[in-house]
Amino acid sequence: MADALVGLTDGLDLLPDNTTREISASDVRRVALSFLADRGQAYADPALGPWVVPIPAADTWVDIPTGIGGAQMVQGDALFWRMDANGQLGYDYAADWPTVTVPAGYTRQATLLGVVNIDPNGDTWEFAFTIGGVIQEPVFTVETSVQTDAVVVAIVSGDPIDVSLAPRVSLSVRNVTSDSDLTLNLVSMRASGGPLA
């Protein structure tokens, strides 16, 4: 029997005071699975770096995992988030609980964290998360003209995501000032979340 995911309010409605003994095992599974905090990680193995992200033209967004070759990315700790062959993260309940049904329009709150370590080259870089290939705010700008050492950038975003559509979550970069390629010493993406209130 499929366990359809529910939102917070519907989940609480499934678990009323059990004076009439109407709560089923399926109700408890649906609530437990819906209320679990999800997580996932994709990262490039630092022992294999550094990597170069080719920049085709100034002011052009480039997907970082695809730019370094998705095979360079490694799946980290995961519960319901899985990395695909391109190194991007996608929501996949069935990977951990095959009987789960994700209803159309099912949305969860996601917190996205990315960390990159770049070699400065005097350019201005912008970093952002993408959801389904669409750049998400905020965009993080790093101006490296005065940097001599590697720069660590943390990229954070928090968005409701319609996980029934299984959009890919990834990190993107663009060189605002030139078409110089980006040298990465480290790249890591984490996604975590839970039900909307």
In order, the DSSP letters of 6-25 are --HHHHHHHS---TT----H
Query: Which token pair is 116?
Result: 């990159």
* Averaged confidence pLDDT in the chain: 87
More confident residue, 4 or 109: 109
Average pLDDT over residues 46-56: 92
Average pLDDT over residues 168-185: 95
Average pLDDT over residues 99-103: 83
Query: Which token pair is 39?
Result: 């997580």
CA 149 to chain CA centroid, Å, is 28
What is the reported pLDDT for 8?
66
Average pLDDT over residues 105-125: 91
Instruction: Give me the half-sphere count of Cα atoms (radius 13 Å) on the Cβ side of residue 4.
Output: 8
* pLDDT exceeds cutoff 80 at 9: no
Average pLDDT over residues 154-175: 93
Q: Residue 124: exposed, middle, or buried by beta-carbon count in 10 A (0-12, 13-18, 19+)?
A: middle
In tens, the pLDDT along 127-154 reads 999 999 999 999 999 988 777 778 889 9
Residues of the chain with CATH 2.60.120.40: 38-92+103-195
Phi-psi category of 83—alpha, beta or left, where left has phi over 0 and alpha has psi -120 to 50?
beta
CATH of domain 38-92+103-195: 2.60.120.40
More confident residue, 31 or 108: 108
pLDDT band at 119, cuts 50/70/90?
A: confident
Instruction: Answer for the pair 161, 93: CB distance below 8 angstroms, yes or no.
Output: no
